[in-house]
A and B are shown apart, each in its own frame.
Chain A
Amino acid sequence: MIGGLFIYNHKGEVLISRVYRDDIGRNAVDAFRVNVIHARQQVRSPVTNIARTSFFHVKRSNIWLAAVTKQNVNATMVFEFLYKMCDVMSAYFGKISEENVKNNFVLIYELLDEILDFGYPQNSETGALKTFITQQGIKSQHHTKEEQSQITSQVTGQIGWRREGIKYRRNELFLDVLESVNLLMSPQGQVLSAHVSGRVVMKSYLSGMPECKFGMNDKIVIDKQGKAGSSEDGGKSGKQSIAIDDCTFHQCVRLSKFDSERSISFIPPDGDYELMRYRTTKDIILPFRVIPLVREVGRTKLEVKVVIKSNFKSSLLAQKIEVRIPHPLNTSGVQLICMKGKAKYKASENAIVWKIKRMAGMKESQISAEIELLPTNDKKKWARPPISMNFEVPFAPSGLKVRYLKVFEPKLNYSDHDVIKWVRYIGRSGIYETRC
């Protein structure tokens, strides 16, 4: 299991060092600093073995987190734990920065003591942790006996992510369907790969221990219902259903129930959480099409023309559109003409950045650039990195629709109708690239 956990700043100074196992010595701290941080090279593997000791490392802004072991640990678990550790720290004190880590080092030690025992990860749900790791040590002394056992039963219990006795005057639910659409297109406009990775993110302010049920236009469910119900219904909804390649759920979702009935039922954590992630590859609406045209005029000039076409209902507006057109390293000057928005030549990033604030559906716009090149004797050709694009659209490119989100709380007297629910769809670009 994990033998120790270290946190370093970008210079390699240790900010936190917690050793869990006898086989990890102080020299491990230095070994990592010297071999990985000070090497100042591109990380060629996130797992580094130095003198029979394995280091799992991730970087958050300028901070390195390294888990150390000498055993054959579950590597996936170690990385998941490191990410979780970051989440917990952010939930407690915001951004993970050198300053914040130093300011909260006592808290971090306390957390590390709690969520990792002898290198075995323990309950690391912030909801539960915040009930008893408060950084106000005295307070925890004044818990009554019931409160204490409530804490412990929550931490170890089946519903470790939610405490009992939560009360809201207004029961409210916010549901965001956030999708990022990824595309790799050939210069000729052939889709090389495209997928949507989506997340259903929720914010719930509900009293008691509510039982929730979430439904969406999942093809498998709709088809099943279509078979059972009237054929007319089946035909109608069949068109609008989507095929989900795979999905994963927050630990509050009853997986066995999903496996057998494909229904998503759960008791939600309080506040923010990510209910599910999913991935689709079929029938994706690609909100934009990028058509590049690159022409090399002699050795010192390049003509680039890029057309973008929006491909969705004309009543909808896409926002924050940004097209990034890379140019060769030996560029000396660029002349730009664009029909819409603003375009800038950013020499430091080796790219032309074209920004459009808003664009309606079914429209088209274009930019043309003349790139002057310095003559070089570099034999190697310019690698022509792909043209990438960023945007935000107010619909789900996968076609996912929320059909219902029902709330039942048998013990308290509020019903599904009393809950105020908000649903929002946001589609963003993931890695949206067109080769040129």
Chain B
Amino acid sequence: MTDSKYFTTTKKGEIFELKAELNSDKKEKKKEAVKKVIASMTVGKDVSALFPDVVNCMQTDNLELKKLVYLYLMNYAKSQPDMAIMAVNTFVKDCEDPNPLIRALAVRTMGCIRVDKITEYLCEPLRKCLKDEDPYVRKTAAVCVAKLHDINAQLVEDQGFLDTLKDLISDSNPMVVANAVAALSEIAESHPNSNLLDLNPQTINKLLTALNECTEWGQIFILDCLANYTPRDDRESQSICERVTPRLSHANSAVVLSAVKVLMKFMEMLPKDLDYYGTLLKKLAPPLVTLLSAEPELQYVALRNINLIVQRRPEILKHEMKVFFVKYNDPIYVKLEKLDIMIRLASQANIAQVLAELKEYATEVDVDFVRKAVRAIGRCAIKVEQSAERCVSTLLDLIQTKVNYVVQEAIVVIKDIFRKYPNKYESVIATLCENLDSLDEPEARAAMIWIVGEYAERIDNADELLESFLEGFHDESTQVQLQLLTAIVKLFLKKPTETQELVQQVLSLATQDSDNPDLRDRGYIYWRLLSTDPVAAKEVVLAEKPLISEETDLIEPTLLEELICHIGTLASVYHKPPSAFVEGSRGVQHKRLPGSAGSGESVESPDTSSAAGLSEAPPAVIPSQGDLLGDLLNLDLTPPATTGPTPPPSSGMQLGAMDLLGGGLDSLLGGDLGGSPAMGAAFGAPPAVMPASFNAPVSGGLDDLFDLGGGVGMTMGAYSPPKTIWLPAMKAKGLEISGTFARRAGVIQMEMTLSNKAMSVMTDFAIQFNRNSFGLAPAGPLQVLTPLNPNQSIEVALPLSTVGPVMKMEPLSNLQVAVKNNIDVFYFSCQYPISMLFVEDGKMERQVFLATWKDIPNDNESQFQIKDCHLNSDAVSNKLQSSNVFTIAKRTVEGQDMLYQSMKLTNGIWVLAELRVQTGNPNYTVSLKCRAPEVSQCVFQSYEAILKN
């Protein structure tokens, strides 16, 4: 029998045909038709129009057909509530059927139909089914109560179904018990405070009995429910544990993990000196290891959980390091998790093995995995002091491979190693510095800068190194900028004489030219600190740093406790509390380990070691990123005496600043600094700059604007063609770019209008050019500071330089551009008018012109006609001049004006021209002579464009 044919139906009049078939007298045909309907429904076609016809097929003694109709009903009843009523009678009748399978089917399906009127009719049959003689019907009815509660909670309470459900916990059939437990647990979750599942020793006993008898799934429901119970004392806790441990040998991993959850939780209450406590710990390890031979998806879930268990009770798996070694064919998600656990289990005893493995992993293919392996080596060094030396040398070996991402990752971890073991491994700094140029990731750059700043006194050219970073200060990420600022201040405090200029430069970059408030604030803090009390500055900036902890990514203890209560569930996979990813009231309840919630009543003897176990001080966690922050936190922000947060009025400022300098700086610099006043002045400036800087940029900006306006209005600007669409929105996922080129005040600009025609916000714009004939390249980043909202347009002017890489293009003025945003990278090409490349000093001396003209062979001369131009020669000359085509001489021969002109391209190529203008004749002739005749065509086109504009 093949059913696949139902997936292929004729398209035309499909619904109509189906309707006819559904109403057919023949049973077989009806069934076929319903199958087709279900197939269409699966694929996502709307077959709701057939509702009455399908419902008509419901009254049948064919169970298969009935099930199909029910399936249809569950899908569409909600959209057709009125018609769904038609089905009620059949449901009610089926609930009375002598066949228990049909009774159960009816009540199961009714519960899935979320239509109020059907729900009303559900109550009576459900009540009967909950007390049915057949266990199959009862177990189905138990789940149905949960369904009904989801639709109408009030109704369930009013009808007293909850009590009936509670009675089912004492049912003789284990599966009924299990389903009742599942239903009650779910209902209880949405009533956090109701004592619905009132678990007491009697009910617990019943659950534990059912645990031995029910299906694997039932065992999971029961174990998950047990995990919510808090035993009264350690004896009860132990007896439950004893009855749960056999489950650790179940073939179903979910049964095993749920059992582990119960044991992990109840173990908290056992005294640690109890023999049983030790036995239990030993019993937990083997099943956890066995989980690793399950299918990869389960391995992943198990590993995420083991990660939690190891953090809470490292003793369980401390001898099992080897099972976490990565296999070559493990899926990547298993590999990454195993690596995490390897680091957690690393100790002096096994470090040699671990390191050998990690070194092996660092040569694998997957980039993420390799990075993590390199990072792991660093973490081993920090965790196991004895291994630090070996780790460092391993890292150095890896740096020698020169694989870019390996080097960067290694530098990041070496920074942490320096933090942990100061004055031990600084000899490797030289090797690190060799790789300075290859660092392109912010984290690695920041780490390197930190190292240079921290050890400035040992690195001879520290100032040069830092200065090299400073060149592209504004292109760096915030992380790097902040680090650079701190590093240079450190450098200055260590070597004040040589680095004055540098520190001033960075401070002004950070405070005046930056839009980033964090950066600006830090800049001001340093600036003020240096200018008021340099001794304090030294104390603050070069203060001893707090030690970094062994473990960098430990889960915060209270969260860990909560997650332990959620072992096996999604929360334990995500390592997030359920409230972080579950909507609504469910799962908002925070679970706690017993005893730790501070509820002393439930724990009889709070002085037992269970409490002691919990009070073990959690290791202080300082994120490895935190050293920046650490510096700042050490700052005592209340200034020593004078300066408040608001600077004094600017008039008195200069003087005040001089005073502030005082002897402080001298004391810092000692006698070596002859030029201290000069330097003082330099430092005196900043507070003054503060208030001023609020005005200056604004007014400056306005001036610029006026300049621009004036320029355009007064002298005619260089020719710039109108904007054309370069990148249509269709081709760029909604980003439209139109643009043109212009030369404004000697700067070539690419002027673009970016329009967002998509539905989502666009950010992170960047631009890049392909190599081109004249080496055009963006002189700065694309300045789109605010995100571009849908239907918004923005004008951007991108200054261009001509020092980029050169490659001859066809046509010559072709430019290939790549624009990136948060969505994708887009490519387009456009042509620029060559007149844009005519430089301002393109006027040739007459003599030189003559000589050059003669010198260039006649083969290089090309002639063009410019048609339909009605300007006189003076106007022509003026117009061309504004585009940097300079008229050197004019000669009038036989009513013809001969204009001799010169222009120079950005790459130094001279173009000479002879333009013949005949009064009365609208057609001009231009002869171009150039050593590179390829450009002539383009130059001619520019002539035409300029003159006709």
Note whether A and B form a binding pair. Answer: yes
Of all chain B residues, which has the CB nearest A260? B246
B290 touches A248 (CB 8 A): yes
Known: A149-B100, A149-B134, A431-B329. A74 touches B3 (CB 8 A): no
Which of A206-214, A308-316, A354-362, A381-389 is found at the contact surface with chain B? A381-389
CA distance A138 to B301 in the complex (A): 43
Asked whether A255 is an interface residue with its Cβ less than 8 Å from the other chain, the reply is yes
Q: Give Cα A123 to B246, complex, Å.
A: 21
- Cβ distance A126 to chain B, nearest Cβ, rounded Å: 13
Q: Is A192's CB within 8 Å of the partner chain B? A: yes
Chain A residue numbers with a CB within 8 Å of B402 are 379
Tell me the minimal C-beta distance from B840 to chain A in angstroms.
45
Contact of B302 with A by CB under 8 A: yes
Within 8 A of B (CB), among A119-141: 120-125, 132, 135-138, 140-141
**Whole-angstrom distance from the CB of B28 to the nearest CB of chain A?**
11
CB <8 Å contact, A249 and B250: yes
A155 on the B face (CB < 8 A): yes
Q: Which of A1-41 contact B (CB under 8 A)?
A: 1, 13-17, 19-23, 26, 29
User: A122 contacts B217, CB within 8 Å?
Assistant: yes
Q: From B286, which residue of chain A is reached at the shortest CB distance? A: A246
B42–A14 touching, CB < 8 Å: yes
Contact with A along B4-19 (1 / 0, CB 8 A): 1011000000000000
In the complex, are the beta carbons of B249 and A72 less than 8 A apart?
no
Q: Give the chain A neighbours of B785 by CB distance below 8 A.
A: none
Q: When the two chains form the complex, which single residue of B143, B176, B179, B252 contacts A80, counting CB atoms closer than 8 Å?
A: B252
Contact in complex: B147, A118 (CB < 8 Å): yes
Say whether B173 contacts A79, CB under 8 Å: no
Q: Are A248 and B249 in contact (CB under 8 A)?
A: yes
Counting CB contacts under 8 A, is A231 at the interface? Answer: no
Contact A156 to B363, CB < 8 A, known contacts A105-B39, A184-B327, A433-B328: no
Digitize A176-198: 1 where CB-to-B-CB distance is under 8 Å, 0 elsewhere. Answer: 00000000101000001101010
The proximity string for A residues 71-97 relative to B, scoring 1 for CB distances below 8 Å and 0 otherwise, is 111111101111100000000000000
Contacts of B300 in A (CB 8 A): 45-47
Expressed in whole angstroms, the Cα–Cα distance for A83 and B327 within the complex equals 23
B129-153 interface bits toward A, Cβ cutoff 8 Å, 1 = contact, 0 = none? 0000011110110011011001000
Chain A residues with CB below 8 A from B213, complex form: 158
Chain B positions within 8 Å of A156 at CB level: 135-136, 139, 173-176
- Which of A109-117, A287-295, A298-306 lines the interface with chain B? A109-117
* Contact between chains at B254 and A72 (CB < 8 Å): no
**B150 cross-chain contacts in A, Cβ below 8 A:** 21-22
B570 sits at the interface (CB 8 A)? yes
Q: A14-B44, A121-B217 are in contact. Are A73 and B301 (CB under 8 A)?
A: no
Q: Is the Cβ of B332 less than 8 Å from the Cβ of A44?
A: yes
Contact of B246 among A140, A152, A195, A258 (CB under 8 A): A258
CA distance A44 to B66 in the complex (A): 42
Q: Which of B546-554, B571-579, B661-669, B927-935 contacts A (4 or more CB under 8 A)?
A: B571-579
Alpha-carbon separation in the docked complex, A104 to B566 (Å): 37
Is B566 touching A99 in the complex (CB atoms < 8 A)?
no
Instruction: Give chain B residues whose Cβ lies under 8 Å from the Cβ of A79.
Output: 253-254, 295, 297-298, 301
For this complex, into which size category does the number of interface residues on chain B fall? 35 or more
Query: Are B251 and A193 within 8 A (Cβ)?
Result: no
Which chain B residues border A143 with CB–CB below 8 Å?
Answer: 99
Complex partner residue of B67 from A73, A113, A279, CB under 8 angstroms: A113
A49 within 8 Å of B by Cβ? yes
Chain B nearest CB: distance from A301 CB in Å? 21
Contact B217 A184 (CB under 8 A): no
CB distance from B661 to the nearest CB of A (A): 53
Q: Quick check: is B895 within 8 A (CB to CB) of the other chain?
A: no
Among B550-591, those with CB < 8 Å from A are: 566, 568-574, 578, 581-583, 586-587
**Are A109 and B67 also in contact (CB < 8 A) when A72-B582, A79-B298 are?**
yes
Shortest Cβ gap from A45 to chain B (Å): 5
Contact present for A43 and B331 (CB under 8 Å): yes
Known A152-B100, A381-B363; contact A274-B251, beta-carbon cutoff 8 A: yes
A120 engages B143 (CB within 8 Å): yes
Q: Would you call B212 and A255 a contact (CB within 8 A)?
A: yes
| B323 touching A193, Cβ below 8 Å | yes
Cβ distance B571 to chain A, nearest Cβ, rounded Å: 5
Known: A29-B44, A152-B101, A385-B328. A137 touches B65 (CB 8 A): yes
Q: Tell me the chain B residues, 67-125 only, with Cβ under 8 Å from chain A.
A: 67-68, 70-71, 75, 98-101, 104, 108, 111-112, 114
B287 CB contacts on chain A under 8 angstroms: 246, 248
CA distance A16 to B41 in the complex (A): 10
Tell me if B855 is interfacial: C-beta within 8 Å of chain A: no
Q: Output the nearest chain B residue to A386 by Cβ-Cβ distance.
A: B328
Within 8 A of B (CB), among A369-406: 379-381, 383-386, 388
Contact A77 B297 (CB under 8 A): no
Query: Which residues 614-643 of B have a CB within 8 angstroms of A?
Result: none
A105 with B186: CB separation less than 8 A? no
Q: Give CA–CA (A105, B353) in the complex, Å.
A: 52
- At the interface, yes or no: B245 with Cβ under 8 Å from chain A? yes
Question: Is the CB–CB distance between B290 and A103 below 8 Å?
Answer: no
Which of B56-64, B159-167, B601-609, B696-704 is the interface stretch? B56-64
On chain B, the residues within 8 Å of A124 by CB distance are: 215, 217
- How far, in angstroms, from A107 to B68 measured CA to CA in the complex? 10
Which residues from chain B contact A122 at a C-beta distance below 8 Å? 139, 175, 179, 215, 217
Query: At the interface, yes or no: B1 with Cβ under 8 Å from chain A?
Result: yes
Question: Cβ of A245: which chain B residues have Cβ within 8 Å of it?
Answer: 286, 289-290
Q: How far is the CA of A152 from the CA of B173 in the complex (A)?
A: 11
Q: Would you list which residues of chain A between 223 and 280 have a CB under 8 Å from chain B?
A: 245-251, 254-256, 258-259, 274, 276-277, 279
Complex alpha-carbon distance, A77 and B574, angstroms: 16
- Does any Cβ of B come within 8 Å of A52's Cβ? yes
A414 shortest CB reach to chain B, Å: 27
Complex-state Cα separation, A270 to B869, whole angstroms: 101
- A157 at interface by CB-CB < 8 Å: yes
| Distance in Å: Cβ of B923 to nearest Cβ of chain A | 58
Contact indicator A45/B257 (Cβ below 8 Å): no
Report the bound CA distance from A99 to B7 in whole Å.
11
On whether the beta carbons of A279 and B289 are closer than 8 Å, the reply is yes
Query: Are B251 and A120 neighbours in the complex by a CB distance under 8 Å?
Result: no
Smallest distance from the beta carbon of A25 to chain B beta carbons, Å? Answer: 11
**A76 and B403 within 8 A (CB):** no
In this assembly, does A411 line the interface, its C-beta being within 8 Å of a C-beta of chain B?
A: no
Residue B293 interfacial (CB < 8 Å): yes
A293 to B186: give the CA distance in the assembly, Å. Answer: 61
Q: Are A72 and B298 in contact (CB under 8 A)?
A: no
B-chain residues with CB within 8 Å of residue A348 when the two chains form the complex:
none
Cβ-closest chain B residue relative to A77: B254
* Docked pose: A38 CA to B459 CA in angstroms: 52
Q: Using Cβ atoms and an 8 Å threshold, which residues of chain B touch A140?
A: 63, 101
CB distance from B585 to the nearest CB of A (A): 11
Interface pair A379/B286, CB less than 8 Å apart? no
CA distance A281 to B64 in the complex (A): 51
User: How far, in whole Å, are A248 and B581 apart by their CA atoms in the complex?
Assistant: 33
Cβ proximity bits B319-339 to A, threshold 8 Å, 1 near / 0 not = 000110101110111000000
Are the C-beta atoms of A193 and B322 separated by less than 8 Å?
A: yes
Q: Contact at A58–B297, with CB atoms within 8 Å?
A: yes
In the complex, A145 has a CB within 8 A of chain B: yes
A71 and B1 within 8 A (CB): no
> For A29, A72, A113, A258, which residue has the most chain B Cβ atoms within 10 angstroms?
A72
8 A-B pairs with the lowest CB-CB distances in the bound complex, closest first? A137-B64, A246-B286, A152-B136, A102-B4, A259-B246, A77-B254, A76-B254, A72-B578
A selection of 27 A-B contacts at a CB cut-off of 8 Å is: A15-B42, A16-B42, A54-B581, A74-B254, A77-B568, A79-B301, A80-B253, A80-B298, A113-B67, A120-B221, A122-B215, A122-B217, A149-B100, A149-B134, A151-B101, A152-B101, A156-B135, A156-B175, A186-B356, A192-B357, A193-B322, A247-B249, A248-B249, A250-B251, A380-B401, A381-B401, A385-B328
Contacts A74-B224, A105-B3, A383-B364 supplied; 6 other A-B pairs, CB < 8 Å: A46-B297, A47-B574, A74-B254, A76-B254, A105-B6, A251-B250
